[in-house]
Amino acid sequence: MFDGITRRVVSLWFPRLASDRVLRARPAEGPFALTLIQSNANRLYCLNRAAEDQGLNRGMSYADARAFCPDLISQPAHPQADERFLIALRRWATRYCPWVGLEGRDGLVLDVTGATHLLGGEAALIEDIRQRFARAGISVRIGMGDTRGAAWALARHGGGVAAAGDMLAAIGKLPVAALRLEENISVALQRLGLRTIADLSHAPRAPLARRFGAGLMMRLDQALGTQPEDISPLADPPHYGTRMTLPEPIGLTSDVMAGTARLLGQLCTKLKAQEAGARVLTLTLRRVDQDSQQVELRLARPLRDPHRILPLFQRGVDAVDAGFGIDQLRLEATQVEPLPVQQVSHVSVGRQDKLDDLITRIGTRIGLENVQRFLPADSHIPERSFLIAPAAYSQPERGWSAPRPRPLCLFPPEPIAGTGPHPPRQFRWRRMSLTIGRATGPERIAPEWWLSDESWRSGLRDYWQVETRQGRRLWLFHTPQNPGWFVQGEFA
């Protein structure tokens, strides 16, 4: 109680949160369950009421569940999606009060002190919550009391609203497990004959504290209100956006760039405070006729330096049609990545920054995914000794090594006429008659048996480096198991 107002707490428990989330998107008739691999076994993770009515329960193996209920419909569970769904429910619950926190993985806790009158009282608030969740297809159990512990106990063990005042009278008949105790402590207390919260409250405290620790008494005191317990609301994620409304419309490119520079300074200050960098920036320009145009900038690396980012907007701003004038500018970082503070060197960082800016400028014209680089791969097969990755989403790597020189230009094998294990003295390739002046080899390469590749079904390959009298330096190979000669590359 503070300033004459009794504290009131609401606890929301979603016993079938995961299954309700899935069934909201894809309704299914009959028994339904989500499964999850636990202890090397596929077990039921969450199930709907129809599955519970068939005698199924959480933790049951999926094979046993199908034996009991052949009509069971199942899907793999996604705990991370369930967590995001619970966070979305927390954000929605702020319609009732600003102090909303998470209660484990399947519940919410609301401090509605001084806010119940906005909906016509406690009964009206509880009924409004229940009806809204019922319309949304989400099962919920609601408990309300003076303390967080009492509300939690009521929500998970019967539900109901405890009148303000004596919490022991409201939750005294509930089992000791309603005090948020560990299972082994609850079982031990029941063996001692302390089955309800009232039994525990009347028992001597000192012996219980010595045997079970101070945590047992703390949970009891928190539920009864003799020891305070805070509710920490989940902080909203930072919003990386700035806006500027102009008193007079503007239409010159220089004016738009000046306004963008001011917004960039504010945005980069926010990014620096969170040690983050922007990867995608969106500049929205609102015209006086209420039409809007957007300029999207995708960066090759996360940045928060306004002096480097501003020139990259020039191309997009030049293409904007200002119409009768622009009266509002809004800049938002739509994609953000961590960018911790690092110790940099003036020798190496400058070159890397210029390369990143060049990739960004080229990417704005042809797309960042089309600016690619080669990366080394751990394979002795020529076609698999490298990877092609977008330069904006990869880092240059070292480790290019080969036992013998490899051609700079590599292409699919092209057959040529030849017999025997040694390169032919003369052959025709790409409508050219070539004569070998020098040949070095062979270098035998065996296929990787653990990978299936149609190009290597002919077996071993004996590679030769040949220099022709016409100036061509080619990479030839011979297949002993299926005799034939091929050209696969050309040296610079």
- Residues in the chain predicted with pLDDT less than 50, given as ranges, are 1-3
Predicted confidence at residue 4, as pLDDT, reads 52
Tell the burial category of 328 from Cβ atoms under 10 Å away from its Cβ (0-12, 13-18, 19+). Answer: middle
Number of neighbours of residue 330 by Cβ within 10 angstroms:
17
Chain-centroid distance, C-alpha 353: 28
Helices (H), 213-287: 214-224, 253-273
The model's pTM: 0.62
- SS3 (DSSP) at 1: coil
Q: State the amino acid at position 43 in one-letter form.
A: R
Could you tell me which residues come within 8 angstroms of residue 134 by beta carbon, excluding any fewer than 6 positions away? none
Predicted confidence at residue 340, as pLDDT, reads 87
The dihedral through the CA atoms of 132, 136, 141, 147 has a sign that is negative
Exposure string over 53-85, b if 16+ CB within 10 A, otherwise e? ebebeeebebeebeeebeebbbbebbeeebeeb
Predicted confidence at residue 1, as pLDDT, reads 45
* Residue 240 · residue 275 · CB < 8 Å: no
Length of the chain: 492
Residue 323, CB-side half-sphere exposure with 13 Å CA sphere: 14
Predicted confidence at residue 2, as pLDDT, reads 44
Give φ, ψ of 334 to 5 degrees. Answer: -80, -20
- Tokens coding 422: 């040694």
Predicted confidence at residue 35, as pLDDT, reads 93
